[in-house]
Amino acid sequence: MPSDIGESWQRVVSWLREYAPVSHRALGDAASEEEIAAGEKKIGVRFPEDLRAYLKVNNGTVTRLDGSNGLTGSCPEGEFLVGGWALLPLSSIERLHHQMMPGPSEDEGYWRKEWIPFAAESYACGEMYGFFIDAETGSVGQWSDGDVETMDLFPDLSEFFASVLEDLERILGPEETSQRIQDGSVTLP
């Protein structure tokens, strides 16, 4: 794993292990090189090295099956990003990327093939908001409600995870946050 991304992600993992062990257990197992290559083939884009390195440690967070429609979504214990968002496993990355790609009659400027979603609000909310990594630049952007609102929000995935750690550390501090720890899990109040 490249050192910056490895160190940045390991700090998040260590924090979860110590302060939110239930959320820590919701981290997915490592994805294999073969699984990552299969995901890249389905999407048609090689993932940036930072994303590949992260997925080789944790393949997003665990998912649950929605019996009403057969789709999988994040489980509440894995929704530890601000706003109750979750890191996506490869299967959700593939599905969401496919959903975001414009159809034949849609504006092609909305979503680019090189944008790989890796975190989103919970499935129960419709995954209308999330973060993507640009496979060409490695920078992290954010989409919402059908529009890409922010490009280059973070220069890379390492900086994104550093921001996640800052958000998690605020939970333990004196200032008001939108999250708290309850029964070993990071939750929204």
Q: List, for residues 65-75, the tens digit of each pLDDT value.
A: 455 544 455 67
Question: In whole angstroms, what is the distance from residue 170 CA to residue 174 CA?
Answer: 8
User: How confident is the model at residue 69, as a pLDDT?
Assistant: 45
Judge whether 102 and 110 are in contact, CB under 8 Å: yes
pLDDT for res 66: 52
Lowest mean pLDDT among 5-9, 13-17, 39-43, 69-73: 69-73
Q: What is the pLDDT of residues 115-138, one digit of tens each?
A: 999 999 875 555 678 999 999 999
When pLDDT is cut at 50, 70 and 90, the band that residue 2 belongs to is very low
Kindly give, in sequence order, each residue whose CB lies less than 8 Å from that of residue 37, ignoring residues fewer than 6 positions away: none
Burial of 130 (0-12, 13-18, 19+ CB in 10 A): buried
Is pLDDT larger for residue 136 or for residue 1?
136
Contact in structure between 131 and 141 (CB atoms under 8 Å): yes
Mean pLDDT of 149-155: 84
Contacts of 133 (CB under 8 A, 6+ apart): 47, 48, 50, 51, 115, 116, 118, 139, 140, 141, 157
- Kindly state the average pLDDT of the residues 157-175: 92
Task: List the domains of the chain with CATH numbers.
Answer: 3-187 (3.40.1580.10)
